Each structure stands twice: as C-alpha cells, then as structure tokens.
Chain A
Amino acid sequence: MFRGALSIWGRDMLVLRRGILSELIAVIAYPLTLYLAFGFGLKGYISEVGGVPYPLFIAPGLISMTAVNAAFDESSWSMWFHRRVQHTIEEYRVTPITVYDIVIGKIFSGFTQGALKGAVVFLVIALCTPFRIDYSHLPAYLLCLSISSMTFSCLGTICGTVIDKPENIGRVQSVVIVPLIFMAGIFFPLSSYPAAVLPIIKLLPTTAVFEGARAALLLGYLPPQYLINLLLSASIAFALAVYTFNRKMAE
C-alpha cells in the first residue's frame, strides 16, 4: 500500500537533498527580509498589537507563509514539470502503481518541503533576532503548520494538474494565493477590517492558517474554529486534488 507514493516521495527528497543549501538561502531570504523590514522598520510606529510586540506578532505568520508558499510552489511546479516537460508522470503510469500513489507522493513532497522550509525559517528567526517563544507551544504550532502545508500542497497539485501554460501558475499565485495570504492578517490584526467584512475574512482558510499559527505559537493552543477550518480545508483540498488528477489522467 502506497509503495509507489513512498518511492516518488523518496525521489523528490533525494533531489531536494542535492540542492538544499541554495534552496534554503532563497527560501530564508524573503521572510527574513520582511521580518527585518516590518518588524524592525515599523517597530517605532507600531510597538504592540493587542499587547504583543509587533515583531513577535508577525513572526508566526511569516514562518507559516514560508511553509505554505513552499508547499504550493513545490507541488504546482513539480507536478507541471513532471507532466508537461519531463513526461515522467507517463513513466510512473506504466508501472504497477496507481494514480493515487502518484498524487499522494507529490502532495507529501510539497507538504514535506513546506514543513521543512517553515521550520528552517523559524530557526533562523529564532537565532538571528530577539524573537523568543515558549517551546511548550511548539506542538500546537507544528500541528497548524503541517495541516496548512498539506492544504497548500493539495492546491498546488491541483494547479500543476490542470494548468498547461507555466505563466498561468504564476498568475494563480499573484491573483489568488498572494491576496489570500496578505488578507489574512499576517501584518495587521483582523480587527482592522470593517465589521461587515470580518465574518467573511474569518472563514478564509488562510485566516485559519495565520491566526491559528499566531495563537498556537503565542498562546499554546489552536482555537477550535481555526482547527476545524484547517482540517476541513485540508480534507476538501486533498479530495479535490486526487479527483482532479485522476480525472486528468483518464482524459
């Protein structure tokens, strides 16, 4: 069971291991820049948000953003590349594994990359800045990070499966993923939204990702409404990814 998925995941990890250093430098640079620019640049203007120092307020979201972006990128581009450029998906499909093995293997690769890169950014921020947390909060935060990475890995897999032109993957990122991430309160509290919009914003899966991450890391628990949102989003995204891939392969 899932022998094929494990083999495909193993292949992706082997490739990741080869380029891990350059990958991590690229991955760390972006959130670290944002942390330094916003966390320190705006510290003089915004000292606290809801009693939390601003650098500490944005850090959980930045780490989660790295993780979900990495999960989405890896899944979408990898699926697209293997399907449209290398045609290795066709090679997998003439071996005695199922399409479920392929899609699950790819989703887990995205998830692993997301979780790994998120963890590395966390370490770098912890090492290089005064950012400190209560480490007993870590399990709740890692749970949130894992489910979020899984959801975005599934979304990336769907994009890599249905989109044929590479520029359209970039467009989905710019038009859907980035606004969803930035609307979800990484840099500002949700209370900034007008009361009429707030209920909709709270329903966004990305709000559960970032607000959930903040609560988990700073308070040590994942609020139930965000946990349910995260689990539901991950389950729906997983079912959709498997269905979409299966359907595409049957065409």
Chain B
Amino acid sequence: MTIAVELNEITKSYGAFKAVDRFSLQVERGTVFGLLGPNGAGKTTLIKMLTTLMRPSSGDALVEGFSVLSAGKSVRRVIGVVPQENNLDRYLTARENLTLHARLHGMRPDAYNPRIDELLEMTGLAARQHDFPDTFSGGMQRRLVVARALVHEPRVLFLDEPTTGLDPQSRRALWEHIRGLRHAMTVFLTTHYMDEADALCDRIMIMDHGASLADGTAAQLKDAFSRAHVYELELRGDGQGYQELFAGLPFVRSVERSGSSFRLTLADEDSLKPLMDCLGGAEIRKICLKEPSLEDVFIALTGEKVRE
C-alpha cells in the first residue's frame, strides 16, 4: 500500500482547548477519503494543517512523503485545495483566475494554456471563461474553484465541505467531477452530508472533538452499527401502555415511540423471541429490522445535540 497522506499524533491546541487531539491516520494513494464530523469536530483544522495554512502544536503530517513542518513548499507543490468558501478573485475573469494560479505554481504559458482549456471544458465553463466570477451561480463558482485546484495536476486534492450551499443539481454535477478524479489522484474531503460521503468515498472516518470515532468503508460502518439490532414495530390501535412495557424489559436497550409505532434497540438477535413472547396477544401490524443509514451511524457516534 502506498501512502499519500500520513498523520502522526498531530495535535492543534488553543490554550487548554484541543481542536485536534493526537490524531493519526494513513490514507492510501488513489482513494477518495472522507472525513465526517459535526461542526467544530476539527475537520477544517485538520485540513488547514495538512495544507500548511496552520502549524500543528505537536506531531507531524506527511503529504506524498513531504513533512508539513519542514517541507511546506514541497507539500504545496503537490496539493490542490478547495476551501469551504469560494475564494475566487472577483476582479479577474474565470480564465485569469486559473492563469494566476498556474503562474503561482511556476507553470509556463505553453503548459498552462492547454490545461486550462481542458479544465474549463471539463467543468462546463468554457463559454464563460472571460466572465467575472461574480456573474456566476454558486455551483459555477464552486466548479471554477475545483478547476483552479486542478490546474497544476496535484497528487492530493483537499476538498473542505465542497458542496455546502449548493442546490441538488449542482451537488450532483460536482460529485460527477470528483468521481472522475478517482484513481487519478488522492482525494481527501470533509463533509457533513452523509449521502455525499456514501456516494463518493472509498473510506470514511467519523471524527468528533478532535479525535477519530470510527473508520471504514460506508458498508463496514453500517454493518458494524447494524449489530445494535434496531427494530421498527407497528401495532394496531394506539399502542398505549406498551412504552412502559418495552422499557421494563431487560433486553431492550432503548425505546422511541411515535403513536402506535415503536423503534426498539435490542441487546442481541436472541432478544427477538422473548420480545415476541411479551407482545402475546397484541395485534402487530408490522415488525422489521431497521437497516442503519450512514446518518444513523453518524448520529449514534456524535450524538443528537445541535452544535454551535
């Protein structure tokens, strides 16, 4: 396995507060890696350290073998960055934005002009290349930021919440572009959209409070969570009195009620038979195993409380 991004016990502290706490990770070259977490989990801090915008308090990270501490310039040479905000230059046209980026990477016009043509074509912006970004929709601006990050053909592309604020069509269009990059380069993205992570990522890590909580493919994470045995049960009638009954059963971990529908988390698979015994003569309309979504995994790991 060739490692594209490696973090070794990296920490970022602000006084006593640790935004990222002894975080270690290895990302294989050519994969799409997704970092999920609620607001304030430490995702952006981590990306800022990996892109040399922020210096770690301790630990180190290697990007394509270059240390963010001692070889920042070499790191920046091999990365492309799509930040959370569209930091396009509104006084330059779309093409000029890409040209400036190429020049900052030391590219010559005979190298960057065909590359820019190709990227404008790929992102569907060729017809608008001489327009200013202020006249673009949010989705077009986002595509331009992605194109800009790709001008110098980076080996690792960092995308920090790339689809935040986009409409569903623009999101899907951007997903297509990102999918197209799979295997050509390593993609490291942060998001709090579960469907995005599910659709795009080969590997997902869920983090909160600066630390990793779970790591694997979307299927692995869902599978691990499915061992919690969540069942949806719907009774005929209003289900009055059953909440107390279920809550009192030793093998029931949690009960949620909505009218005559219940969501029960059982201790294990063997709990199903005693549950049915308890229900006795109750009229059951439906009982089924609830397949967890990635969002269920995320909520179970990071909690339901809204973050500031």
Q: Are B106 and A91 in contact (CB under 8 A)?
A: no
Q: Are B53 and A4 in contact (CB under 8 A)?
A: no
Q: Are A90 and B104 in contact (CB under 8 A)?
A: no
Chain A: CB-nearest residue to B86: A87
Q: Are A94 and B81 in contact (CB under 8 A)?
A: yes
Query: Closest CB-CB distance, B94 to chain A, in whole Å?
Result: 14
Query: Closest CB-CB distance, A23 to chain B, in whole Å?
Result: 13
A230 and B77 CA atoms in complex are apart in Å by: 39
Q: Are B85 and A87 in contact (CB under 8 A)?
A: yes
Among residues 1 to 30 in chain A, which have CB atoms less than 8 Å away from a CB atom of chain B? 3-4, 7-8, 10-11, 14-15, 18
Q: Are B90 and A91 in contact (CB under 8 A)?
A: no
Which of B95-103, B169-177, B192-200, B259-267 participates in binding chain A? B95-103
Which of A42-50, A95-103, A106-114, A137-145 participates in binding chain B? A95-103
Classify chain B: how many residues form its interface, as a range.
Answer: 20 to 34
Task: Select which of B51, B55, B74, B100 is within 8 A of A94 by beta carbon.
Answer: B51
A86 and B103 CA atoms in complex are apart in Å by: 19
Q: Are B89 and A94 in contact (CB under 8 A)?
A: no
Q: Are A94 and B52 in contact (CB under 8 A)?
A: yes
Residues on the A chain within 8 Å of B83, using CB: 87, 90-91
Q: Are A88 and B53 in contact (CB under 8 A)?
A: no
Chain B: CB-nearest residue to A95: B104
Given contacts A10-B103, A94-B81, contact A86 B52 (CB under 8 A): no
Chain A: CB-nearest residue to B79: A94
Task: Select which of A3, A14, A88, A91 is within 8 A of B96 by beta carbon.
Answer: A14
Q: Are B89 and A96 in contact (CB under 8 A)?
A: no
Among residues 114 to 165 in chain B, which have CB atoms less than 8 Å away from a CB atom of chain A? 148
- Asked if A92 is an interface residue, CB under 8 A from chain B, the answer is yes
Q: Are B104 and A7 in contact (CB under 8 A)?
A: yes
A93 and B75 CA atoms in complex are apart in Å by: 12
Among residues 42 to 64 in chain B, which have CB atoms less than 8 Å away from a CB atom of chain A? 51-53, 55
Given contacts A14-B96, A87-B83, A90-B83, contact A95 B90 (CB under 8 A): no
Residues on the B chain within 8 Å of A86, using CB: 87-90
Task: Select which of B87, B88, B92, B105 is within 8 A of A95 by beta carbon.
Answer: B105
- Asked if A175 is an interface residue, CB under 8 A from chain B, the answer is no
* Best-buried of A15, A88, A95, A98 by chain B (most CB within 10 Å): A95
- Asked if A196 is an interface residue, CB under 8 A from chain B, the answer is no
Query: Closest CB-CB distance, B255 to chain A, in whole Å?
Result: 48
- Asked if A197 is an interface residue, CB under 8 A from chain B, the answer is no
- Asked if A250 is an interface residue, CB under 8 A from chain B, the answer is yes
**Per-residue interface assignment for chain A, residues 71 to 99, with 1 indicating a CB less than 8 Å from any chain B CB and 0 otherwise:** 00000000000000011101111111110
Q: Are A11 and B92 in contact (CB under 8 A)?
A: yes
A90 and B87 CA atoms in complex are apart in Å by: 8
A11 and B102 CA atoms in complex are apart in Å by: 12
Q: Are A98 and B73 in contact (CB under 8 A)?
A: yes
Residues on the A chain within 8 Å of B104, using CB: 4, 7-8, 92, 95-97
* Best-buried of B87, B88, B89, B101 by chain A (most CB within 10 Å): B87
**Per-residue interface assignment for chain A, residues 158 to 183, with 1 indicating a CB less than 8 Å from any chain B CB and 0 otherwise:** 00000000000000000000000000
Query: Closest CB-CB distance, B88 to chain A, in whole Å?
Result: 7
Residues on the B chain within 8 Å of A98, using CB: 73
Q: Are A96 and B91 in contact (CB under 8 A)?
A: no
Task: Select which of A14, A96, A97 is within 8 A of B92 by beta carbon.
Answer: A14
Query: Closest CB-CB distance, A224 to chain B, in whole Å?
Result: 41
Chain B: CB-nearest residue to A92: B104
Query: Closest CB-CB distance, B221 to chain A, in whole Å?
Result: 30
- Asked if B76 is an interface residue, CB under 8 A from chain A, the answer is yes
Q: Are B55 and A250 in contact (CB under 8 A)?
A: yes
Query: Closest CB-CB distance, B165 to chain A, in whole Å?
Result: 15
Q: Are B91 and A15 in contact (CB under 8 A)?
A: yes
Q: Are A11 and B89 in contact (CB under 8 A)?
A: yes
A102 and B159 CA atoms in complex are apart in Å by: 24
Known: A90-B53, A250-B55. 11 other contacts (CB 8 A): A3-B106, A11-B92, A14-B92, A15-B91, A86-B88, A86-B89, A91-B87, A93-B53, A94-B79, A95-B101, A96-B106
Q: List 23 A-B contacts (CB under 8 A).
A: A3-B103, A3-B106, A4-B104, A8-B104, A11-B96, A86-B87, A87-B83, A87-B85, A88-B89, A91-B83, A91-B89, A92-B104, A94-B51, A94-B52, A94-B53, A94-B76, A94-B79, A95-B76, A95-B101, A95-B104, A96-B73, A96-B77, A96-B106
